[in-house]
Structure 1
Amino acid sequence: MADKPSRGLVLYGDGLARFINPSHTHLHDLASRGICGFLSLSNSPPSETEDERIVREFAQLLDSCEASLGVNVGGATNLECQQKSLMPTISERFMGMRAAIVANNSSLTSFGGTLGFTVMQTDELIKNNHPLSEPPVDVVASESLKLLGFQEGKTLETSQFDLIFMHIGAGEKANGQTEIIANDVEYINGLVGRIMQTAEPGSEIGSRLHLSLVMSYGAVSKDDDPSLSVLVTKNENNSDLSSLSPRQSYTMKGGNPRDNIRHHCPMLIAQWQYAVTRKDMAKTFSFEDFKEHGGNLTIPADRFLHEVAFKLWKAPKYGA
């Protein structure tokens, strides 16, 4: 733990995990510096739309699946939908935590609003008078850090937010728009590079910024690549040992088995904070490297926010 509360930035690449390649050097650099692993999701319900998937999977990251049932997918959440949600706000759940969501998907921003998040679109971060020659990715990175109280290499005593979620990905884009998806991956790669450059090891910002990069596979089916499974198979060669194989922890909750777990195509996650997070043996941001060398193995996606809140001193202990 740091000697002061951290401030968190979560970059969420929705549906982009399968498009990462060796040229995305900043993503691989982050994986090589931090702690890596998987976040397990539930199976998608039949006939789920893309907007419904986006909200459902994001709700799992926030441990707020119940609240997602009250979202008017495809448009703004109305008062009736807000009243249906009995989920406490993010501030009520995590010791007054001030959090924001930056996203361009209307269903996702509607959902965030019901949970007490401040909602912004990416364009709002670029609205200030920045030089036209400055790349948008640099502007978004610097403006995001400003909202967290990081400016000109310094950490301000106060900040507008403790935590920012930034949703980047295919969103409502149709399947097959490979050029748009490639641009999304390049964008998040550049964003990670710019942020890591600002929070370089030994800097004042580096010791206070807790950076999480989450990359998901988007819409998947049971027929997706079986090699992308986190499930540890039992030793079928010895039936006696097979019967003694324990359940993996991500399949349990409160001592009881979890239902409806998707064992393949989990979210990939790398986290880094200078001199705070552990470093594992992963060298690249890839499923294979995380499974072989990642230090965090697999945890349920609904435990993710609790872990981050602990790093921000907004939860008394991990999993609380």
Structure 2
Amino acid sequence: MADKPSRALVLYGDGLARFVNPSHTHLHSLASNASCGFLSLPNAPPSESEDERIAREFAVLVDAYEAYTNPSGSTTKEEGGENFTISERFMGMKAAIVTNNPSLKSFGTRLGFSVLPNDGFIKSSKSQAELPVESVAAELLKLLGFGQTVEPRQYDLVFVHVGAGEVDVKNDQAIADDVEYPNALVGAIMNIGKPGTEISLHLHLSVVMSYGGTSEKDDVNLSFSISKDGTNSNLSKLVPHQSYTMRGEALRKDVRHHSPMLLAQWQYAVTRKDMAETFSFEDFKEHGGNLVIPADRFLHEVAFKLWKAPKYGA
């Protein structure tokens, strides 16, 4: 356990998981040193647009689906509504989201996130020239109070959302090219926060990659459920439900058993290293240490590292 609260950086590659390939060496290096697993999502509603999917999946990831489904309702206790804001839910947590997506900007504001445009980190405000990735990484870490020395922090948690076309919209390879951005950021962050530095001791880094719009028919090789097809019918009722299908003692009514979010988490001397060596569905399934948790529990796990929530699960 760390000697003081951590500060969390979450790099969220929205819809980019299928485009990770062997050339993305920084992502694979992270996976080989991290604790890896899956975040399960609910099934998508019929006829959902891509913009709706982006907002809904982010809402699930930060356990704010009720706020997403009630866009006209209030979000604070003071207004007589549900307790949706991140500060109220997590002991005064200060959080920011870096994104160019209009829906996430609006929804993030409702949830109490400070919203920062991705362009402000990708390009220099003076010349509009692209910033070196090392400078982008350093600016993100400064938001968490990390500089040459550990400084008073602006935020406890910073989400960086990278979706299709947000970084490069020049050609049809935009989505695949966008993986280069989080890959390079991971390399720069890991270099700045080398093991043994003050940053490495108090930075909790999560990399989340989702598959975007998907179906079980399209992604037959991305299922992580335990099949009961070969189980004796008389004994099938004795097979326990997997924990990700449960909420408390009740079964979750809507669980997608395929195409989960891929999750790798790293904090020096805090997270447990597993046997995964590459950032891939197959390696996480065979060698990941975290197995599967519901996506709506992710933020609770991160908040625990920040001393902003009790431990979820074992």
TM-score, normalised with respect to structure 1: 0.90
Q: Is the 8 A contact 2:84 2:111 kept in 1?
A: yes
1:179, distance to aligned residue in structure 2 (A): 1.2
RMSD (CA atoms): 2.4
1:22/1:81 CA distance change after superposition, 3 Å: same
- 1:75 maps to what in 2? none
- 1:91 maps to what in 2? 87
1:139, distance to aligned residue in structure 2 (A): 2.5
Runs of 5+ in structure 1 lacking a partner?
Answer: 72-79
Q: How far apart, CA to CA, are the structure 2 residues paired with 1:130 and 1:206?
A: 32
Range with bigger deviation, 268-277 or 85-94: 85-94
Runs of 5+ in structure 2 lacking a partner?
Answer: none
1:81, distance to aligned residue in structure 2 (A): 6.0
- 2:55 maps to what in 1? 55
Q: Is the 8 A contact 1:99 1:163 kept in 2?
A: yes
Aligned to 1:92, the other structure's residue is in SS state helix
Q: Is the 8 A contact 1:17 1:215 kept in 2?
A: yes
Aligned match for 2:206, one of 197, 205, 212: 212
- 1:242 maps to what in 2? 236
1:221, distance to aligned residue in structure 2 (A): 1.7
Q: How far apart, CA to CA, are the structure 2 residues paired with 1:116 and 1:238?
A: 51
Matched, 1:294 2:282: no
Aligned to 2:284, the other structure's residue is in SS state helix
Q: How far apart, CA to CA, are the structure 2 residues paired with 1:68 and 1:235?
A: 36
1:19, distance to aligned residue in structure 2 (A): 0.5
Percentage identity across aligned positions?
64
Q: How far apart, CA to CA, are the structure 2 residues paired with 1:162 and 1:303?
A: 18
Q: Given residue 7 of structure 1, which amino acid in structure 2 is its aligned partner?
A: R
1:206-285 aligned at under 5 Å gives the runs: 206-234=200-228, 236=230, 238-285=232-279
Aligned match for 2:118, one of 118, 122, 138: 122
Q: Is the 8 A contact 1:50 1:172 kept in 2?
A: no
Aligned to 1:181, the other structure's residue is in SS state helix
User: Once superposed, which parts of structure 1, at least 4 consecutive aligned residues long, lie more than 4 Å away?
Assistant: 80-85, 126-134
Aligned to 1:238, the other structure's residue is in SS state coil
- 1:37 maps to what in 2? 37
Q: How far apart, CA to CA, are the structure 1 residues paired with 2:95 and 2:205?
A: 15
1:107, distance to aligned residue in structure 2 (A): 0.4
1:88, distance to aligned residue in structure 2 (A): 2.6
- 1:314 maps to what in 2? 308
- 1:3 maps to what in 2? 3
Q: How far apart, CA to CA, are the structure 2 residues paired with 1:189 and 1:50?
A: 24
Q: Given residue 114 of structure 1, which amino acid in structure 2 is its aligned partner?
A: R
Matched, 1:107 2:103: yes
1:262/1:200 CA distance change after superposition, 3 Å: same
Q: Given residue 137 of structure 2, which amino acid in structure 1 is its aligned partner?
A: A
